[in-house]
Amino acid sequence: MPIMNHWKGLAATAIAAAVIATSLGSGAADSAAAAAAKPAISVVLNGKTQKYDQPPVIVNGSTLVPLRGIFEGLGAKVSVSGKQITATKGFTTIVHTIGQNWALVDGQKVELSQPSLVLKGRTLVPLRFIGEALDSKVGWNAAKQQVTVAPLQGAELQARWADKANSFAWAGKLDKLKAMLAAGWKPALSEQAFITSVFTKNKDIVKLFLDNGADVNMIVTMEEGDAIALVEAATLPYRETADGEYPATTEASDLELLRLLLSAKPDIAGLEQENGNLVWTAIHAGRLEIVKELLAAGASAKSDGKQQFAAPLAAAAGYVGADGSRAYAMMELLLKNGADPNDCNCDVKESYTPLELASGMLYDAQDDGIAYKPEARVVELLLQHGADPKRDHALYEAVDAEALDIVKLLLAKGADPNKKNPSTEKTPLDLAKELGNAELTALLQQTAASV
């Protein structure tokens, strides 16, 4: 999961005085009455001093002002249904119930610093919350007992809209984003929202970002600390939801998303140089068509040669499908596109080569009691493309799997029955004897004697 900041923006409340005739809490009203005895608080909205029939008050450090006056002063339309107030301005919608300490801003629950209340027949709401929810800057001058409210502009407004865009991207609200666009929002400045649209796999929203200059060359840091290119994130076999769930996605759907991102001409070589092969995630998910698409777009089937990232072929050699079969077609594709059959891009003393992985048993990542046998055709494929069993311990792995047909293939290519495996200090012949496999033992002894 990517690190994405869900919007915690501000939201508000409003209602006409006639809606409620009594206070919703005597304690809050008493505090408000006491605050009203202090020097009068003035509110300057867009450069003009406001006049309210109920003066603003300070309650528990929060300045509260008459609801209808502040909403309408900021250009919002207000509607009332019982205790529920709805205010709308452009693409922003605020819903609040009088007396509660929270509100919904564009569907997101936001805590208020102070609940709304009724004082002398007027509903009062937290000014800062309202102002900031409606894209204004709220300031306080203690010496003058004055609150100033002014519309955000330029970079500050784009930063506020970036938070809102991220919230809309999580909710899949394309219509809201289009309304923001019409109001002057610049999608290219809302990187987190673009990232969210890719991880939630919303192609319509992704297209809106791409059509408006979003950077397709971003690399995203996941919660686990791993990094993934945005293009590669499109190949993940799931999407993320605002509820923190990860429902599975189809390869066909994700292929469409990938093609959309590739249409923006990402710097494939630059991304791979910085963060490794773009095909790696799709290989681990067994998504052959996506790998084909990436290779056609210029992604590499080779490793970087610096032992920074796992080689694509090694990833394919270590993959087992849902039916227990090895990734023959994937490995064939990579080999035809230049993958080195002897390269694991690793320290061979610590990691497995593609041939070792193909020759031995593989175990389920969730339950190591579930094992998958090797397939001779996969080993034969690697050998045909130049894999050299004299360079690793593939023969030892084949003996351990008691895969006679694979042992024969490796011996025919010069594998040494007496080559000691450094991790066990045993040779393939030693292992065959230990396993009590007479046929393997005889074959290895015969080969060893002829060397």
Q: Which of helix, strand or coil describes residue 161?
A: helix
Block means of pLDDT (10 residues each) for the chain, length 451 residues? 38 28 42 54 92 90 90 91 92 94 92 91 90 92 91 96 96 96 97 98 98 97 88 97 96 98 97 93 96 98 81 94 95 97 83 95 87 97 97 97 98 96 95 97 93 70
pLDDT reported for residue 68: 86
The span from the CA of 71 to the CA of 73, in Å, is 5
Q: Which two tokens stand for residue 45?
A: 């909205």
Q: What is the pLDDT of residue 21?
A: 29
Q: Report CA 58 to chain centroid distance, whole Å.
A: 41
Q: What is the pTM of this model?
A: 0.84
Count Cα atoms within 13 angstroms, Cβ side, for 62: 20
Beta carbons of 421 and 393 less than 8 angstroms apart: yes
Q: What is the DSSP string of 196-251?
A: HHHHTT-HHHHHHHHHTT--TT-EEEBTTS-EEEHHHHTTSSB---TTS---B--H
Dist. CA 192–CA 10, nearest whole Å: 19
Closest Cα partner for 210 from 164, 155, 165, 266? Answer: 266
User: What is the architecture of the domain spanning 321-451?
Assistant: Alpha Horseshoe (1.25)
The CATH topology of domain 26-151 is Copper Amine Oxidase; Chain A, domain 1 (3.30.457)
Sequence ranges of the domains in the chain: 26-151, 321-451
User: What whole-number distance in Å separates Cα of residue 310 and Cα of residue 352?
Assistant: 10
